[in-house]
Amino acid sequence: MVPTPQVALLFSLAALALLVTPGPAVFYIVTRSLDQGRAAGLASVAGIGVGTLVHTSAAAIGLSALLASSAAAFSAAKLVGGAYLVWLGVRRMLGRGEEGGERATERLPLLRIFVQGILVNVLNPKTALFFLAFLPQFVDPSRGPVAPQILVLGALMASLGLVSDGAYALLAGTARDGLLRRAQGALRAQRFVSGSVFIALGVGALLARRHA
């Protein structure tokens, strides 16, 4: 069973608020765009998108197995995930995120940039933890199997990521010089917004579990 339209809309709004805030993946995209132009940036965007689908599939398999073994364990995972989201939100608002992610300046073929984008996303354990914490908050086991819901949400997030990350790639590839310096004020505002979303989602999950 796929998520309801209301859940899909809420998820999209939350995901967009988080996606627009730069992290390691965005900095990889921007760096490639600044160094080699828009084509390189878009190749890295595609790689990051594939990595998102890999994390989604892993989360769907793992959370489905967890629910099959114990509904209480699934609820506990959502509770722990909520606490993790609150912690991430506080870190983000305090400016202790991962904005200083890797910067690669070596010129590479587009195919290698694409593959490297996949690896940048897939091999980041914090990204895997984020998916395990974020996606279950929008899953309702009473509506049917968990895996299809997670896969739909993950595909939706990957699609939104292509749009937001693609915008970063095009902007950086066009500007090329001084982009990051001019954007510092905007980045601070984005950190506050995304941190607030993390905290709100986490608190909502914690309160829901407590009332339940």
Q: What is the pLDDT of residues 171-201, one digit of tens each?
A: 888 776 555 555 555 556 656 765 776 687 6
| Domain of residue 120, residue span | 5-211
Q: Is the pLDDT of residue 209 over 60?
A: no
Across residues 124-143, what is the average pLDDT? Answer: 82
Q: Is the pLDDT of residue 168 over 50?
A: yes
Tokens of 74: 């699934």
Residue 161 CA: distances (Å) to CA of 46, 56, 177, 206: 10, 13, 24, 27
Distance CA 92, CA 131 (A): 17
Domains of the chain: total: 1
**Residue 66: which of 76, 56, 55, 54 has the closest Cα?**
76
pLDDT at site 4: 85
